[in-house]
Structure 1
Amino acid sequence: MTRVIMARHLVAALATVLSLATPCARADEGIGPAPAGAPARGLDWTGTWEAAPSGTAPAQPGASFRNVVHTSVGGTAVRVRISNRLGTEPLRLGAVTVALREPGEPAGPDAVPGSMRAVTFAGARSAVVPPGTDLVGDPVRLRIPADADLLISVHTPGDPGPATYHRSAHQTNFLARDGDRTADERGTRYTTDLHSWYYLTGVDVLGAPAAGSVVTLGDSITDGTGSTPDTNRRWPDRLADRLSGLPPRQRLGVLNAGISGNRLLRAGSGPSALDRLDADVFSRAGVRTVIVMEGINDIKGTPEERNPRALEDAYRRIVTRAHALGIRVVGATMTPYGGHPAWTAAREAVRQEVNAFVREGGLFDAVADFDAAVRDPADPYRIRPAYDPGDHLHFDDAGMRAMADTVDLDTLVP
Structure 2
Amino acid sequence: MNMRRGYATLAGVTAVIVLICSAIYLGVEAAQGRTAVRTAVGSPAVWVGTWAAAPVQADLQDTARGDRSVRNVVHTSIGGSAARLTLSNLAGREPLHIARVSLALRAGTTAAAVPGTLRRVTFRKAEAVTIAPGGQFVSDPVTLGIPYNGDLLVSIHTPADGPVTLHPRARQTSYLADGDRTDDVSGDTYTEQTFAWRHLTAVDVLTQDVRGAVVTIGDSITDGVTSTIDTNRRWPDRLFERLNAHGTEQFAVVNQGISGNRLLLEGRGPSALARFDRDVLARPGVRTVIVAIGINDLLRASYEPDAASVTAGLTQLARRAQARDLRVLGATLLPCAGHHRCTRAVQEARQDINAAVRSGRIFDAVVDFDRALRDPYAPGRLLPRYDSGDHLHPSDAGFARMARAVDPARL
The TM-score normalised by the length of structure 1 is 0.87
RMSD: 1.7
1:66 aligns with 2:34: no
Name the structure 2 match of 1:354. 353
Separation in structure 1 between the aligned mates of residue 355 and residue 210 of structure 2, nearest angstrom = 33
Separation in structure 1 between the aligned mates of residue 321 and residue 304 of structure 2, nearest angstrom = 24
What's the CA shift for 1:245? 3.0
Name the structure 1 match of 2:164. 163
1:143 aligns with 2:145: yes
Contact 2:373 2:402 in 1 (8 A): yes
Separation in structure 1 between the aligned mates of residue 18 and residue 283 of structure 2, nearest angstrom = 18
Q: Please give the per-residue CA displacement for 1:331-389, whole angstroms capped at 9, x wherever unaligned.
A: 00000110000011111000000000000142211110000000001111110001112
Alignment of 1:300-311 (within 5 A): 300-304=299-303, 306-311=305-310
Contact 1:75 1:144 in 2 (8 A): yes
Q: Could you say if the C-alpha distance between residues 347 and 241 of structure 1 is closer, same or farther in structure 2, counting changes exceeding 3 Å?
A: same
Name the structure 1 match of 2:377. 378
1:241 aligns with 2:258: no
Q: Could you say if the C-alpha distance between residues 196 and 312 of structure 1 is closer, same or farther in structure 2, counting changes exceeding 3 Å?
A: same
Name the structure 1 match of 2:82. 77
Contact 1:215 1:289 in 2 (8 A): yes
Separation in structure 1 between the aligned mates of residue 15 and residue 214 of structure 2, nearest angstrom = 16
Contact 1:27 1:43 in 2 (8 A): no
**Number of equivalenced pairs:** 373
SS at match of 1:274: helix
* Matched letter for residue 334 of structure 2: T
SS at match of 1:321: helix
Contact 1:215 1:257 in 2 (8 A): yes
Name the structure 2 match of 1:344. 343
Name the structure 2 match of 1:33. none
What's the CA shift for 1:303? 2.3
Separation in structure 2 between the aligned mates of residue 372 and residue 229 of structure 1, nearest angstrom = 27
1:224 aligns with 2:229: no
What's the CA shift for 1:278? 1.2
1:282 aligns with 2:272: no
Separation in structure 1 between the aligned mates of residue 270 and residue 303 of structure 2, nearest angstrom = 17
Q: Please give the per-residue CA displacement for 1:108-130, whole angstroms capped at 9, x wherever unaligned.
A: 10000010001100010001111
SS at match of 2:272: coil
Name the structure 1 match of 2:188. 188
Contact 1:26 1:44 in 2 (8 A): no
SS at match of 1:66: strand
Q: Could you say if the C-alpha distance between residues 128 and 231 of structure 1 is closer, same or farther in structure 2, counting changes exceeding 3 Å?
A: same
Name the structure 2 match of 1:334. 333
Q: 2:91 pairs with 73, 79, 86, which one?
A: 86
Name the structure 2 match of 1:9. none
Separation in structure 2 between the aligned mates of residue 55 and residue 166 of structure 1, nearest angstrom = 7
Name the structure 2 match of 1:212. 212
SS at match of 2:311: helix
Separation in structure 1 between the aligned mates of residue 280 and residue 337 of structure 2, nearest angstrom = 31
Contact 2:19 2:44 in 1 (8 A): no
Contact 1:212 1:251 in 2 (8 A): yes
SS at match of 1:89: coil
Contact 1:70 1:149 in 2 (8 A): yes
Name the structure 2 match of 1:172. 173
SS at match of 2:273: coil
Name the structure 1 match of 2:410. 411
Q: Could you say if the C-alpha distance between residues 274 and 101 of structure 1 is closer, same or farther in structure 2, counting changes exceeding 3 Å?
A: same
1:259 aligns with 2:227: no
SS at match of 2:312: helix
What's the CA shift for 1:317? 1.0
Contact 2:67 2:158 in 1 (8 A): yes
Separation in structure 2 between the aligned mates of residue 187 and residue 67 of structure 1, nearest angstrom = 12
Q: 2:131 pairs with 129, 139, 159, which one?
A: 129
Q: 1:102 pairs with 72, 85, 107, which one?
A: 107
Separation in structure 2 between the aligned mates of residue 192 and residue 27 of structure 1, nearest angstrom = 45
What's the CA shift for 1:171? 0.4
What's the CA shift for 1:308? 1.2
Separation in structure 2 between the aligned mates of residue 208 and residue 234 of structure 1, nearest angstrom = 27
What's the CA shift for 1:268? 1.0
SS at match of 1:77: strand
What's the CA shift for 1:305? 5.8
Q: 1:119 pairs with 118, 121, 126, which one?
A: 121
Alignment of 1:379-398 (within 5 A): 379-398=378-397
Contact 2:59 2:165 in 1 (8 A): yes
Contact 1:46 1:208 in 2 (8 A): no
Separation in structure 2 between the aligned mates of residue 299 and residue 51 of structure 1, nearest angstrom = 24
What's the CA shift for 1:208? 4.7
Unaligned runs of 5+ in 1: 1-23, 31-40
Larger Rg: 2
Separation in structure 2 between the aligned mates of residue 294 and residue 208 of structure 1, nearest angstrom = 32
What's the CA shift for 1:246? 5.8
Q: Please give the per-residue CA displacement for 1:135-170, whole angstroms capped at 9, x wherever unaligned.
A: 11010000011010000011111112x310001100
